[in-house]
A and B are shown apart, each in its own frame.
Chain A
Amino acid sequence: MINNQKDVLMDLVINNKHISIRAGGGRCLLDFLREDLSLMGTKEGCGEGECGSCTVLLDGKAVLSCMTPMERAIGREVTTIEGVGRPGNLHPLQQAMMEEGGVQCGFCTPGMIMSGVELLNRKSNPNRDEIVEGISGNLCRCTGYRKIITAIERAAEKMS
């Protein structure tokens, strides 16, 4: 019963770095990222696919890590908020979120940025409707979304 059997070899690329570690299987990717890799930026807001706080990129696609079995990441590439940009080397969207006031309590922010990054990777110049649709799987209780949408617009301008 105790989950310290380390029965699964997790061999994958995470934030552009290849890792190969043994871990207790049978959990969601979110728990593996947080508990085994201490990547705490990815958040659990609901655990049932409603809020988008746990969004990560799996082979470049935005997925909900709370509903992804951890073993599904084996042999693939996972990007979390920690891999998007670090202080001193921020992604344009991280910079824009700061400048536009798209961040308040910040709990939705990592997931929101992951959805925004996926959108910007897919579409270099999204219009407002496309941005709204792109982040519609991410809930925010503080900002009212407007400043987040503006931040994505601003980031798209900078990136083009």
Chain B
Amino acid sequence: MMYKTYHVAQSIEEALSLLLKSVDRKVRFIAGGTDLMLQLRERIVEADMLVDISVIPEMKQISQDGSKISIGAVVSYSEMRQSDLLKKNGFLLVEASKLIGATQIQNMGTIGGNIGNASPAGDILPCLYALDAEIALQSADKKRSMPLRRFITGYRQLDLQPGELISGISFEALQPGMGSSFVKFGARQAQAISIVSVAAVLQVQAGKISRVAIALGSVAPTIVRSSSAEELLLSEQPSPDLFEKAGEAARDDISPIDDIRGSAAFRRYITQPLVSQALETAWRRTQKQI
């Protein structure tokens, strides 16, 4: 047995009360299960009880409230891929969802799982960092929210309190004139864990870059926002040349390591063209309003 009991929660309240009632037992929430089931099998994680949160209606929605887009924590990558709301207001999330795993993983895995896992190689995370996303957390007695980049405190480490659940994530909808993109480099296109990934958001007004966000994955213990590249770009006129320089600058903000997927030197090398590619794509999209 990988776990003893399994409960399907129908609401956030039910999920949280199951967690509270089982203080002396090892309880884990399960959404997509693509990481947890592997950890249970390998005995990296032990659990007495799994609480399935994958069918809780309010956690399964992508919604808009004014300029704010909210994504429930158990929305799957497939659902993000197909979301018209995201295609219009956060295209980079659609793009990243297409590049995660393959069909089966996209049908199973969820945005909340990607956040909760807090791996620097999680492909949704650079997108959310570039969007300055806020995370919504809920426990039996309170709700709180905070910027995602403060919630993720280190390599696979979260500021998650006991009895708390990630209920969703939200960000300001991208406006007309803004473009976004996500690019990754892996051993192959599908089913590969990123060696380096880059998310970019760009806005051009009156021929000058008025807003820019560049986030990099797999180059440090957590996702990195490249302030050097962002500073270099702001108020400048966009051009492929400038984007190449931004890629160079991004190298200063990363601290990659050697691992089985790639060396630190290779990660440093590939960061520059990936950043410049992400920026060029985002720039092209500023003209298409996505």
Contacts and interface: CB of A to CB of B under 8 A. Distances in A.
Interface size, A (range): 20 to 34
A24 interface: yes
A62 B37 contact: no
B287 to A, nearest CB: 25
Interface string B4-25: 1110100000000000000000
Interface centre among B5, B103, B189 (most CB of A within 10 A): B103
Given A64-B108, A67-B34, A137 B102 contact: yes
A50 B1 contact: no
A27 B1 CA distance: 6
A71 B41 contact: no
B33 A25 contact: no
Interface residues of B, number: 27
A27 B37 CA distance: 9
Nearest to A52: B104
B103 A137 contact: yes
B105 A64 contact: yes
B105 A49 contact: yes
Contacts of B8: 71-72, 74
B3 A26 contact: yes
Nearest to A55: B104
Nearest to A68: B33
B38 A48 contact: yes
Interface of B: 1-6, 8, 30, 33-34, 37-38, 41, 50, 52, 54, 78, 101-105, 107-108, 189-191
Given A49-B34, A67-B38, 10 more contacts: A8-B6, A25-B1, A25-B4, A26-B4, A27-B2, A52-B102, A64-B34, A67-B37, A68-B37, A71-B8
